Amino acid sequence: MTDPKANRKALQVLEGQSFASPPMWMMRQAGRYLPEYRATRAQANGFLDLCYTPELATEVTLQPIRRFGFDVSILFSDILVIPDALGQDVRFEEGVGPILEPLDAAGIQTLKPDNVLKHLEPVLETVSRVRDGLPAETTLFGFCGAPWTVATYMIGGRGSPDQAAARQMALTDPDSFQILVDCLVDSSIRYLSAQIDAGADAVQIFDTWAGSLDEEQFRRWCFEPLKRIVSGVRAHHPDAKIVAFPKGVGPLYEEVARDSGVNAVGLDWSVPTGWARDNLQKHCAVQGNLDPQKLIAGGRALDEAVDRILEDLGSGPFIFNLGHGITPNAPVAHVEQLVARVRGFKR
């Protein structure tokens, strides 16, 4: 009997293979730049309702696969479903973004980790539905937010340019902050393992705000928790394929690629691709790293950027992606241009 995973190119890249035409997808590919997403979103009673309604979440997850034929489908959800599952008040306001009731040391003690998987059963149902609805050759990614990044929202109550509230707690009350990070590590292990049980081929850990920490704090609050999550997921699934995206960490990417145990690192657009080729691909696959602004620009700027990335990284294990999420103002025609350029690239 043929293995249904045999033709999933992105999964093969995570196992160390290379392809002349690399697999591709885009962060936030199921999103507001698509008219079909906006139409489906209008059926939900708020953003979290969209995440927790399997029929709707499955539909928006599959939309970019139908339209563009990406090699990877990533679960439509949000990194803040874990704080919501832990019992923190989480809401999304149109035009503002996520707003949480900020946690202090006392509030950390009230979190309910035993409730996480029960609360997230609708998301796990979405994973199963998506896997059933995907072409056999399409790799399915699940995901979660990294403990540090999730903690910045839990402590600060919303996104911020410098994550100052969480950085201050980590410095002035590291014991309480450690309790929070430990809770998020354990919750993430169980959540990611359950996503794999439900049908995810691989999982990605998004550490969007890792670049706000210095080297010492990065190792304590980002790198060590990442290693614990990787180890914990593999205790349940020894062959689990895991991607880390520690945005903005510069040369510390090499430590993640070499020592964390992940199968791939996602690169933000500031990472020089030649450096990534020479220093990262010898340790693991890489994914990235087109500047989303070049996708908006389109034309020659987009073509030249795509070619440069493929020339530098395409000879090793590589998944083409953006260096962060696609923005709502990205023209669909430019995404079509991007897909055609990657698919048609020749050395």
DSSP string covering 68-124, please?
Answer: H--SEEE----TTHHHHHHT--EEEETTTEEEE----HHHHTT--GGGHHHHTHHHH
Task: Confirm whether 132 is a catalytic residue.
Answer: no
- Do the beta carbons of residue 124 and residue 194 sit within 8 Å? yes
344 CB-contact burial (10 Å; exposed 0-12 / middle 13-18 / buried 19+) = exposed
Please identify which of the residues 28, 131, 190, 277 carries the catalytic annotation: 28
Q: Looking at 32, 67, 91, 220, which residue is catalytic?
A: 32
Distance between CA atoms of residues 198 and 279, nearest Å: 35
User: Other C-beta atoms within 10 Å of 231: how many?
Assistant: 12
Residue type, 253: Y
Residues 271 and 289 sit within 8 Å (Cβ to Cβ): yes
Exposure string of 75-102, with b = 16+ CB inside 10 Å and e = fewer, is: bbbbbbbbbbbbebebebeeeeebebee
Distance CA 289, CA 309 (A): 7
Q: Which of 78, 84, 268, 312 is catalytic?
A: 78
Give how far Cα 37 sits from Cα of 52, 123, 134, 307, Å: 16, 18, 17, 29
153 catalytic, yes or no? yes
Question: Is 78 among the residues known to form the active site?
Answer: yes
Q: What is the DSSP letter of 260?
A: S
Catalytic residue among 33, 153, 191, 253: 153
28 is catalytic: yes
Which residues are catalytic, by number? 28, 32, 41, 78, 153
